[in-house]
Amino acid sequence: MIQQLSRIYPVRKGGAEPLHSNGCPLGVTVLDLWRWSASDLVSNATRGILAEFIVASALGIKLDGVRDEWGAFDLITPEGISVEVKSAAYIQSWSQRDLSPITFRVPKTRAWNADTNVLEGEPRRQAQVYVFALLAHQDKASIDPLNVDQWQFFVLPTTVLDARTRSQHSITLRSLANLAGQAVSYDELRDAVRRAAGQGTAD
């Protein structure tokens, strides 16, 4: 008998699902896992996922599904715009002598199809629009990544990144600001993404 090894589509969890031994609950749940693994919202890994979540909520994307960790791009808006989210922060979880310099990685990638386990042949930027989410707050005592007013967002069409003559692997905040102009707020982000995709603004 040949084992079926096709893609697993995750089912959204509620948090009450128990860790168990063949059906016998062991007294801890998925909610305990989430609290244990993802409470440090300032950490680089968790902050990146939070940034995607914040941007998704600003863009009006339904949050009743499950994040696709291996998707070719991060988000798709209700208007059909594909979006890649990059995050950075001045403040880190660890002890710092100085604020972190802000640089975003923007390499071209080979998209991977989870249904076929096949990589695309040529590297490219997969999304139509890039959103650079900067946790801009600079006071460690009061930093709160859940406060969207502590974030700034820079929006660029992918075509602008592709046309750069400087590094194609990363971009500094100064270079980004020169290309994107002034940062936008959480409330302004959806219209900025629509403009970058050539769709005007929301009604």
pLDDT tens-digit map of 166-198: 778 999 999 999 999 999 999 999 999 999 999
List, in order, residues 6 or more apart from 11 with CB less than 8 Å away: 66
Low-confidence ranges of the chain (pLDDT < 70): 1-3, 200-203
3-state secondary structure of 95: coil
Res 4: pLDDT: 78
* Rounded Cα distance, 151 and 4, in Å: 45
Q: Return the pLDDT at 2.
A: 63
137: Cα separation from own chain's centroid: 18
In 10 A of CB 40, how many CB atoms? Answer: 12
Distances (CA, A) of 153 to 21, 23, 34: 45, 46, 27
Write down the pLDDT at residue 40: 97
pLDDT the model gives residue 120:
87
Rounded CA-CA distance 33/19 in Å is 9
Structure tokens at 10: 């995750």
